[in-house]
Amino acid sequence: MRKIAESTVRRLSLYLRFLEEFEEQGVATVSSEALATRGGTTSAQVRKDLSFFGSFGKRGLGYSVPELASRLRDILGLGKTYRVAVIGAGNIGAALVHFRGFEKHGFHVISLYDNDPKKIGRKHNGLVIRDQLGIEGDIARDPIDIAILVTPASAAQELVDRLVKAGVKAFLNFAPLQLRVPDDVVVKNVSLALELEALSYGLRNR
């Protein structure tokens, strides 16, 4: 399969969201125009995005909603379930454990870690907050697919180094720094402060 741009993957996720809404409403087919409107793009772009992955839909009839949804889930690797650890039990970390969007799409938060002795051992949303120091041992017994890092920037790189060594291949990073990882490890970044600063920059330079 060709290397697909990150922006394409993102649009595929958006198309899937709309298809799932249509599925719930019992809509059977959808046009590339309708997908485009909801994805903030053009129907030509929709057809191009989908063409990377083979042939879909029929000219004039549009796409079958359940077929396209199922194919997109497959492309995005969403058929399987992923075991997720959240590291950092602050406000955001704790909220993520509750986040229904994760569970719905096969991302199961199985553990929550912190390094604060006052938090370790306390229960949060059914999960006992575990000691970060024990994370390699826990993973060896009970592997995880994805680690979500919600730690201070100063702690993040060392943690990632430890987790990569322990075999973790995917990270969702909330800490405001650029993580260094080997080529076969995937990292996505979410930095709320950085997004707000980009807004601030945008407001200042409109």
Residue 170 bridge partners (DSSP): 146, 186
**Least distance (Å) between residue 136 CB and a second copy:** 20
Per-residue binder mask for a second copy (CB under 8 A), 164-203, x = binder: -----xxxx---xxxxx---x-x-x-xxxxxxxxxxxxxx
113 binds a second copy (CB under 8 A): no
Residue matched to tokens 């129907």: 43
Give Rg (Cα) of the chain. 20
Nearer of residues 135 and 148 to a second copy, judged by Cβ: 148
Candidate residues 101, 118, 141, 165; the one interacting with a second copy per rule CB under 8 A: 101
The answer to the question of residue 44 lying near a second copy (CB under 8 A) is no
CA atoms within 13 A of residue 26's CA, in its CB half-sphere: 0
Q: Tell the burial category of 146 from Cβ atoms under 10 Å away from its Cβ (0-12, 13-18, 19+).
A: buried
CB of 2 to a second copy, least distance (A): 10
DSSP label at residue 142? S
Query: By CB under 8 A, is residue 94 in contact with a second copy?
Result: yes
Report the Cα 142 to chain-centroid distance in Å.
21
Asked if residue 102 binds a second copy (CB under 8 A), the reply is yes
126 sits near a second copy (criterion: CB under 8 A): no
Segment interacting with a second copy (CB under 8 A) among 32-40, 42-50, 54-62, 129-137: 32-40
Please tell me the distance from the alpha carbon of residue 206 to that of residue 196, in angstroms, as a whole number: 15
- If one asks whether residue 145 binds a second copy (CB under 8 A), the answer comes out as yes
Confirm if 171 and 188 have CB atoms less than 8 A apart: yes
Among 17, 47, 48, 162, contact with a second copy (rule: CB under 8 A): 17
